[in-house]
Protein backbone atom coordinates (compact mmCIF):
# COMPACT_ATOMS: atom_id res chain seq x y z
CA UNK A 1 0.00 0.00 0.00
CA UNK A 2 3.00 2.27 -0.37
CA UNK A 3 3.44 2.68 -4.14
CA UNK A 4 6.06 5.43 -3.74
CA UNK A 5 8.41 2.80 -2.30
CA UNK A 6 8.64 1.37 -5.82
CA UNK A 7 9.61 4.63 -7.50
CA UNK A 8 13.18 4.82 -8.66
CA UNK A 9 15.42 4.76 -11.71
CA UNK A 10 13.96 2.68 -14.53
CA UNK A 11 15.94 -0.32 -15.77
CA UNK A 12 16.65 1.51 -19.05
CA UNK A 13 17.88 4.76 -17.42
CA UNK A 14 21.21 5.33 -19.16
CA UNK A 15 22.36 8.74 -17.92
CA UNK A 16 25.06 9.39 -20.50
CA UNK A 17 24.99 8.02 -24.03
CA UNK A 18 27.44 9.03 -26.77
CA UNK A 19 27.27 7.79 -30.37
CA UNK A 20 29.69 9.16 -32.95
CA UNK A 21 29.87 8.01 -36.55
CA UNK A 22 31.99 9.24 -39.42
CA UNK A 23 32.85 8.40 -43.01
CA UNK A 24 36.05 9.61 -44.67
CA UNK A 25 36.91 9.21 -48.34
CA UNK A 26 40.66 8.84 -48.66
CA UNK A 27 42.16 11.59 -50.88
CA UNK A 28 43.64 9.05 -53.29
CA UNK A 29 42.66 8.46 -56.91
CA UNK A 30 41.18 10.27 -59.90
CA UNK A 31 39.95 13.76 -59.02
CA UNK A 32 41.60 13.67 -55.58
CA UNK A 33 44.70 15.17 -54.02
CA UNK A 34 46.97 12.15 -54.55
CA UNK A 35 47.02 9.93 -57.62
CA UNK A 36 44.96 12.17 -59.88
CA UNK A 37 47.31 11.31 -62.78
CA UNK A 38 47.07 7.52 -62.33
CA UNK A 39 46.06 5.30 -65.21
CA UNK A 40 42.68 3.51 -65.09
CA UNK A 41 44.05 0.20 -63.75
CA UNK A 42 46.05 1.77 -60.92
CA UNK A 43 43.13 4.02 -60.00
CA UNK A 44 40.75 1.04 -60.01
CA UNK A 45 42.95 -0.76 -57.47
CA UNK A 46 44.24 2.03 -55.26
CA UNK A 47 41.82 4.93 -55.65
CA UNK A 48 38.40 5.61 -54.18
CA UNK A 49 38.75 3.91 -50.78
CA UNK A 50 36.75 5.10 -47.78
CA UNK A 51 36.84 4.45 -44.06
CA UNK A 52 33.80 4.51 -41.77
CA UNK A 53 33.48 4.06 -38.06
CA UNK A 54 31.02 4.10 -35.19
CA UNK A 55 32.00 4.75 -31.57
CA UNK A 56 29.47 4.08 -28.80
CA UNK A 57 29.89 4.77 -25.08
CA UNK A 58 27.33 4.84 -22.30
CA UNK A 59 27.04 4.59 -18.56
CA UNK A 60 25.69 1.45 -16.91
CA UNK A 61 22.05 0.62 -16.31
CA UNK A 62 20.53 0.78 -12.81
CA UNK A 63 20.58 -2.34 -10.64
CA UNK A 64 17.91 -3.06 -8.04
CA UNK A 65 19.38 -5.13 -5.23
CA UNK A 66 16.98 -7.82 -4.03
CA UNK A 67 16.54 -10.27 -1.17
CA UNK A 68 15.09 -13.62 -2.28
CA UNK A 69 14.16 -14.75 1.25
CA UNK A 70 10.69 -13.07 1.31
CA UNK A 71 11.36 -11.26 4.61
CA UNK A 72 8.03 -9.39 4.49
CA UNK A 73 6.11 -12.62 5.22
CA UNK A 74 3.56 -11.47 2.64
CA UNK A 75 3.85 -14.53 0.44
CA UNK A 76 5.30 -14.24 -3.04
CA UNK A 77 5.29 -10.53 -3.90
CA UNK A 78 7.93 -10.45 -6.59
CA UNK A 79 11.37 -9.21 -5.71
CA UNK A 80 11.70 -7.80 -2.22
CA UNK A 81 14.49 -5.39 -1.43
CA UNK A 82 16.86 -5.32 1.57
CA UNK A 83 17.72 -2.36 3.79
CA UNK A 84 20.48 -0.03 2.60
CA UNK A 85 23.02 0.44 5.39
CA UNK A 86 26.09 1.71 3.56
CA UNK A 87 27.79 2.35 0.22
CA UNK A 88 26.99 -0.15 -2.55
CA UNK A 89 30.22 0.50 -4.44
CA UNK A 90 33.33 -1.14 -2.97
CA UNK A 91 36.59 0.79 -2.97
CA UNK A 92 38.29 -2.08 -4.83
CA UNK A 93 35.51 -2.54 -7.40
CA UNK A 94 36.16 -5.27 -9.98
CA UNK A 95 34.18 -7.88 -11.91
CA UNK A 96 34.64 -10.20 -8.92
CA UNK A 97 33.23 -7.61 -6.52
CA UNK A 98 31.05 -5.04 -8.30
CA UNK A 99 28.67 -4.60 -5.34
CA UNK A 100 29.62 -4.55 -1.66
CA UNK A 101 27.31 -6.86 0.31
CA UNK A 102 28.16 -4.89 3.47
CA UNK A 103 26.13 -1.99 2.08
CA UNK A 104 22.93 -4.04 2.53
CA UNK A 105 21.21 -6.08 5.20
CA UNK A 106 18.10 -8.21 5.36
CA UNK A 107 14.99 -6.33 6.43
CA UNK A 108 13.56 -7.48 9.80
CA UNK A 109 10.94 -10.21 9.48
CA UNK A 110 7.51 -8.84 8.62
CA UNK A 111 8.85 -5.58 7.13
CA UNK A 112 9.84 -4.23 3.75
CA UNK A 113 13.40 -3.16 2.98
CA UNK A 114 14.21 0.51 2.41
CA UNK A 115 16.61 0.19 -0.54
CA UNK A 116 15.18 2.09 -3.50
CA UNK A 117 14.69 0.74 -7.00
CA UNK A 118 17.86 1.19 -9.07
CA UNK A 119 20.11 1.91 -6.09
CA UNK A 120 23.32 0.74 -7.85
CA UNK A 121 24.74 0.81 -11.40
CA UNK A 122 26.06 -1.89 -13.71
CA UNK A 123 29.31 -1.36 -15.64
CA UNK A 124 29.32 1.02 -18.58
CA UNK A 125 29.67 0.06 -22.24
CA UNK A 126 31.89 1.15 -25.11
CA UNK A 127 32.47 -0.24 -28.59
CA UNK A 128 34.14 0.66 -31.90
CA UNK A 129 33.03 -0.68 -35.30
CA UNK A 130 35.06 0.10 -38.45
CA UNK A 131 34.70 -0.41 -42.20
CA UNK A 132 37.11 -0.07 -45.12
CA UNK A 133 35.40 -0.10 -48.50
CA UNK A 134 35.76 0.65 -52.19
CA UNK A 135 33.44 0.95 -55.17
CA UNK A 136 34.25 -0.51 -58.57
CA UNK A 137 32.11 1.18 -61.25
CA UNK A 138 30.82 -0.99 -64.09
CA UNK A 139 28.60 1.59 -65.74
CA UNK A 140 26.77 4.81 -64.99
CA UNK A 141 24.43 3.24 -62.39
CA UNK A 142 25.99 -0.14 -61.62
CA UNK A 143 28.92 -0.92 -59.41
CA UNK A 144 30.53 -3.53 -57.19
CA UNK A 145 31.39 -2.69 -53.62
CA UNK A 146 34.05 -4.43 -51.57
CA UNK A 147 33.96 -3.96 -47.79
CA UNK A 148 36.08 -5.15 -44.91
CA UNK A 149 34.03 -4.73 -41.72
CA UNK A 150 35.16 -5.17 -38.11
CA UNK A 151 32.58 -5.18 -35.33
CA UNK A 152 34.00 -4.65 -31.83
CA UNK A 153 37.31 -3.78 -33.48
CA UNK A 154 39.33 -3.80 -30.22
CA UNK A 155 37.67 -7.01 -28.94
CA UNK A 156 36.74 -5.12 -25.77
CA UNK A 157 34.61 -7.15 -23.33
CA UNK A 158 31.61 -5.18 -22.05
CA UNK A 159 30.51 -6.66 -18.76
CA UNK A 160 26.93 -7.54 -17.93
CA UNK A 161 25.21 -6.69 -14.65
CA UNK A 162 26.32 -8.43 -11.45
CA UNK A 163 24.39 -10.92 -9.34
CA UNK A 164 22.16 -8.82 -7.09
CA UNK A 165 20.46 -11.13 -4.57
CA UNK A 166 21.86 -10.73 -1.03
CA UNK A 167 20.39 -14.13 -0.09
CA UNK A 168 23.17 -15.67 -2.22
CA UNK A 169 26.32 -14.14 -0.66
CA UNK A 170 28.72 -16.39 -2.59
CA UNK A 171 27.69 -14.88 -5.92
CA UNK A 172 26.46 -11.41 -4.84
CA UNK A 173 28.22 -8.67 -6.79
CA UNK A 174 29.92 -11.15 -9.12
CA UNK A 175 29.81 -10.43 -12.87
CA UNK A 176 29.66 -13.60 -14.97
CA UNK A 177 28.42 -12.37 -18.35
CA UNK A 178 29.23 -9.98 -21.15
CA UNK A 179 27.06 -7.81 -23.37
CA UNK A 180 27.59 -7.98 -27.11
CA UNK A 181 29.73 -10.20 -29.25
CA UNK A 182 33.52 -10.56 -29.41
CA UNK A 183 35.35 -9.15 -32.42
CA UNK A 184 33.75 -10.19 -35.72
CA UNK A 185 35.49 -9.49 -39.03
CA UNK A 186 33.73 -10.03 -42.32
CA UNK A 187 34.35 -9.44 -45.98
CA UNK A 188 31.44 -8.30 -48.11
CA UNK A 189 31.21 -8.06 -51.88
CA UNK A 190 28.00 -6.57 -53.29
CA UNK A 191 26.71 -5.75 -56.74
CA UNK A 192 24.43 -2.71 -57.03
CA UNK A 193 22.22 -2.44 -60.11
Q: How far is CA 45 from CA 130, 135, 140, 146, 159, in A?
A: 21, 10, 19, 11, 41
For 134, list phi and psi in degrees, rounded to 5: -150, 140
Work out the pLDDT band at 40, boundaries 50, 70, 90: confident
Work out the pLDDT band at 83, boundaries 50, 70, 90: very high
Whether the per-residue pLDDT at 1 is higher than 80: the answer is no
Whether the per-residue pLDDT at 161 is higher than 90: the answer is yes
Q: How far is CA 123 from CA 9, 24, 40, 98, 158, in A?
A: 16, 32, 51, 8, 8
Q: How far is CA 149 from CA 57, 130, 190, in A?
A: 20, 6, 13
Which pLDDT score is estimated for 13? 92
Amino acid sequence: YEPEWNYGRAFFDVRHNLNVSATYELPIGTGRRYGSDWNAVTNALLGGWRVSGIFQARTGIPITVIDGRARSLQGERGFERPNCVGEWKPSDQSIDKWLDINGFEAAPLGTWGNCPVGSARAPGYWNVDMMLGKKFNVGPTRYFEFRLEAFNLFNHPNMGPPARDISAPNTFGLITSTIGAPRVIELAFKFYF
